[in-house]
Structure 1
Amino acid sequence: MMRFLFDTSAVISLLGQKSDALIDRVLDCSEGEIGIPAIVSHELCFGAYKSQKVLFNLETIRLLLRDFVVLPFDEEDSRQAGEVRAKLNEAGSPIGPYDVLIAGQARARDLILISNNVREFERVPDLRLEDWTVS
């Protein structure tokens, strides 16, 4: 059963093997417990196409994504994201356009968002958030 949703920063940290704590937590999870939003896949592919090693980076992403469930963005995800965006704009503390979609998806599916971009996501009401890059 899926319990966790990775944002782009967590996936990049995992790909770059930047945190032993993150790698250990991922290895402790059962198959299917971690999801990656299709939005994160988009961000990763965008980064790959902007890079000097396009084919290498696209293949790295493809190999990584086959080990996780990639979640499409559905109607309830969009409703939650719209609510989050409206509340944060009203409070004068909006977050990035892709981050609001990822946060909305995590809320809609009652998943814990894994991110090392805590300062951005901690503003989102009712979002369960963890940073696995710290012990």
Structure 2
Amino acid sequence: MMRFLFDTNAVISLLGQKSVALIDRVLDCTEGEIGVPTIVSHELYFGAYKSQKVSFNLETIRLLLRDFVVLPFDEEDSRQAGEVRAELNESGSPIGPYDVLIAGQARARDLILISNNVREFERVPDLQLEDWTVS
């Protein structure tokens, strides 16, 4: 059963093997516990296509994503994201447009968002958030 949703920064940290703590936590999870939003896969593909090593990076993404559940964005996700965006705009502390979508999806599905971008996401009310890059 899915419990965790990775944001782009967490996936990039995992790809770059930048955090032993993050790798250990991922290895402790069972198959199907970690989801990657289609918004994150979009960001990864965008980065690959604008890079110098397009083929290599596309293959790296393909191999990585086969080990996780890629989670499509649905109507309830979009409703929650709209609510998050309105709440943050009203409080004067908006976050990036992709981060709003990712946070909305995590909130809609009652998943724990895994990110090392805690400063951005901690502004989102009722969002479960963990940073696995620190032990």
TM range (shorter): over 0.9
Question: How many percent identity over aligned positions?
Answer: 93
Instruction: Give how far 1:78 is off.
Output: 0.1
Segments of 5+ residues of structure 2 without an aligned counterpart are none
CA displacement, residues 43-63 of structure 1 (integer Å, 9 cap, x when unaligned): 000000110001100110000
TM-score (norm 1): 1.00
After the TM superposition, list the runs of 4 or more consecutive aligned residues in structure 1 that deviate by more than 6 angstroms. Answer: none
Using the alignment, how far apart are the partners of 1:66 and 1:39 within structure 2? 16
Question: Which digits, 9 at most, give the CA deviation of each residue in 1:9-56, with x for residues without a partner?
Answer: 000000000000000000000000000000000000000011000110
User: For the residues of structure 2 that align with 1:43 and 1:94, how far apart are their CA atoms?
Assistant: 20
Matched pairs, number = 135
TM-score by length of 2: 1.00
Q: Secondary structure at the match of 1:2?
A: coil
CA distance, structure 2, for counterparts of residue 109 and residue 89 of structure 1: 22
Q: Structure 1: where are the runs of 5+ without partners?
A: none
CA distance in 1, matches of 2:124, 2:106: 11
1:35 is paired with a residue whose SS is: strand
**1:36 is paired with a residue of what secondary structure?**
strand
RMSD, aligned CA = 0.3
CA distance in 2, matches of 1:100, 1:55: 30
